[in-house]
Structure 1
Amino acid sequence: MEQAVCCYRHPDRETGIRCTRCERPICPECMVSASVGFQCPECLGEARRTTPAPRTVVGGTVAADPHLVTKILIGLNLAVFVLVQALGDRLAGDLSLYAYCDPVVRQYCIGVSEGPDQWYRLISSVFAHQEYWHIGFNMLTLWWIGAPLEATLGRARYLALYLISGLGGSALVLLLAPYPGALGASGAIFGLFGATAVFMRRSRMDMRPILILLGLNLFFSFTWSNVSWQGHLGGLAAGTVIAIGMAYAPRERRDLVQWGTCAAVLAATLVASWIAVAQITA
């Protein structure tokens, strides 16, 4: 009489199916569909451990939700906007750069120039908006431009690009604007514009749409009142340089070049901010 074959994980269950990799008998509860036949849970787990994680075109990890960081950034901007609307101009002032020192009444000198404990304003100003049209336009643009860029870069590289672009905008505002009370994510978003143009160029795509859109935004930056063209240009420059480092990094030294570029641009923005504050307080 032929002996019954039982599942190796459930000895009380007879089966006629074997794992295609290890050939151990498996019952229906243990069967995992494979490209050919079925695998047991142990073989499947081993395959997942030894198979390299999928990567984006620049070496980032492919995430289950490729737009998660963009959603979180939009949520943070909206949350800060609601708080500003609820608490008024005082909160907006606490978040903005406001590094200008009145040469006559120096006790009203507030903001980044007050000391290192106020340097949080370099990044807090990137998340603050006061007008409905401003937050609406910026968040729509962030979703439209940022979501596909996040899928291209991966979460870590995308977040670094966004934040350093925002800091680049703050730095140029401090250097060039006489009354740097700028608020908003526009500098960071211009950095995403620059990065999108770089990757479209790298992929040999038709760049006319992004160049037209960027040109229109730059035109409005210089012609509309109460718009910080300094912040826009600073973010654009920082984002473009970072994207060049990410897009054209050699594969064998990709991480070193990419993160080295981010570190170099970050250092440049901090040095520029320090110089600007020194000029203001001199």
Structure 2
Amino acid sequence: MDPKDQPGGPGGGPGGEPTGPGGPEAAAPACYRHPDRETGIRCIRCKRPICPECMVSASVGFQCPDCVRQGGGPVPAPAGAPGGASGAARVPRPWQRGGGGPGPAPRGDSRPRTLAGGVVQGDPRLITKVLIALNLAVFVLVKAAPDSARLLDDLVMVARFPSYPQPIGVAEGEWYRLLTATFLHEEVWHIGLNMLSLWMLGGPIEALLGRARFLTLYLLAGVGGSVASFLFADPLGASLGASGAIFGLFGATGVLVLRVRADFRPFVALLVINLIITFGWSGIAWQAHIGGLVVGTLLAAGLVYAPRRHRALVQWGTCALVLVALVVCVLARTAALT
């Protein structure tokens, strides 16, 4: 049962506090082990709120450390159900407000929500898995193509290359390259490292943001990396790879670590290592890395720090503003190159 629908006084809230559309807005629940950290994720078994530090991946969703230690036993009945498989009545939990009896029907959408307001899904890594599969499929298809080199030339990010029978590049109107380049890789080690990073970073971020917000952040960060290459790299040089999107996930991870007040030091160490590789290894398009990092950080801040009352407006408005800014940058650079 949703806490706001527990009985306890007239109007549905303790002491008569109204919980309907006109009442005060409920605060996000705090992790049961870290009361100073707000979270939108709950243990799939006991339903207690858990922060990223306390999440333990399960076959479906996440469990808290206590349930993992105890192991076994049936999963509690869904909120509001008269009982579980045994028919026993649901016992009120100490973190729930009000009593444990049946209350009024939930108002509006009462589905569990993530920290950013997305719907909690059964598979919190679905989009991450789809993105990895898509990158791998593109890699295999390009390698297997009869004219692989020509196909890469048609899809990589290049600003303006005039030596073809006709000029090619983003400045010549081929804007699709800003996105297609983010799904291309030339070497096995390149796609291997990027997909490993996507798996490690993507799952936790997807669980905290929700599918739609995570996918939007990933794609815009990837495009942001391509736009940065278009702006600052050699116009004749080509760039490709998911690294811009991956660095966008690094930026988002930093914002989320701050948001849930977790230890920031491991993130800083990992980011510094990746930045050293970015600037110390020749042949890496550092512009794409920095562009993705900046875009991912800005988007994550807009997604997780949006006020609850106007959350959707602020979140999608932030995404729209970032997209408009990227378009303006492309137009300005195109004017300078043509």
The normalised TM-score by structure 2 is 0.67
Residue pair 2:158, 2:230 contacting (<8 A) in 1 also: no
1:230 counterpart (287, 291, 302): 287
The amino acid that maps onto 1:150 is E
From 176, 190, 196, the counterpart of 1:120: 176
Is the Cα–Cα contact under 8 Å of residues 166 and 185 in structure 1 kept in the other structure? yes
The aligned residue for residue 272 of structure 1 is: 329
Instruction: Please say if 1:148 is aligned against 2:204.
Output: yes
Provide the C-alpha distance between the structure 1 equivalents of 2:290 and 2:226, rounded to a whole number of angstroms. Answer: 10
2:238 — aligned with what? 181
> Deviation of residue 204 (structure 1)?
1.2
How many Å separate the matches in 2 of 1:185 and 1:218? 16
Determine the structure 2 residue equivalent to 1:36. Answer: 89
Distance 1:214 1:65 in 2: 27
What is the TM-score of this pair, normalised by structure 1?
0.80
* Shift in CA distance, 34/123, structure 1 to aligned 2, threshold 3 Å: farther
Give the Å deviation of 1:107.
4.2
Structure 2 CA distance, aligned partners of 1:177 and 1:163?
Answer: 21
Whether 2:219 is the aligned partner of 1:159: answer: no
Structure 1's unaligned 5+ residue stretches are 1-20, 24-30, 38-45
Pairwise CA distance, 1:32? 7.1
Select the structure of larger CA radius of gyration.
Answer: 1
Does 1:66 pair with 2:124?
Answer: yes
**How far does residue 36 in structure 1 lie from its aligned partner after superposition?**
1.8
Given that 1:59 and 1:153 are in contact with CA atoms closer than 8 Å, whether structure 2 keeps it comes out as yes
- The share of aligned pairs that are identical, in percent, is 53
8 Å CA contact 2:247–2:290 kept in 1: the answer is yes
Match of 2:156 in 1: 96
With 81-90 and 52-61 compared, the bigger mean Cα shift is at 81-90
User: Structure 2 vs 1, CA of residues 274 and 32 (structure 1 numbering), >3 Å: closer, same or farther?
Assistant: same
| Letter of the structure 2 residue corresponding to residue 141 of structure 1 | S
In structure 2, the residue matched to 1:86 is: 144
| Greater relative contact order (CA < 8 Å, ≥ 6 in sequence) | 1
1:218 paired with 2:275, answer yes
**2:154 partner letter:** D
Q: Distance in 1 between matches of 2:187 and 2:265?
A: 31
1:80-135 superposed Cα distances (whole Å, 9 cap, x missing partner) = 10012112111111111122234xx47452122222xx211111101011111100
Kindly tell me the number of residue pairs found equivalent between the two proteins: 241
Q: Which runs of 5+ in 2 are unaligned?
A: 1-79, 91-103
* Cα distance in structure 2, aligned partners of 1:86 and 1:32: 52
SS at match of 1:52: coil
Q: Equivalent residue for 1:9? A: none
Number of the residue aligned with 1:40: none
SS, match of residue 148 in structure 1: helix
Q: Deviation string for 1:111-162 (max 9, x for gaps)?
A: 22222xx211111101011111100000000000011100010000000000
SS in 1 for 2:158: coil
The structural deviation recorded for 1:53 is 0.6
What CA distance in whole angstroms lies between the structure 1 residues aligned with 2:276 and 2:217?
Answer: 24
Q: Residue 71 of structure 1 aligns to which amino acid in structure 2? A: K
Q: Which residue does the alignment assign to 1:110?
A: 168
CA contact (8 A) 2:279 2:286 kept: yes
1:34 is displaced (CA, Å) by 5.5
CA distance in structure 2 between the partners assigned to 1:106 and 1:129 by the alignment? 23
| Shift in CA distance, 93/257, structure 1 to aligned 2, threshold 3 Å | same
Structure with the larger helix share: 1
CA deviation string 1:163-212 (max 9, x = no partner) = 00011101110000013411010000100000000010111111111111
Q: 1:204 to 1:155 in 2, by over 3 A?
A: same
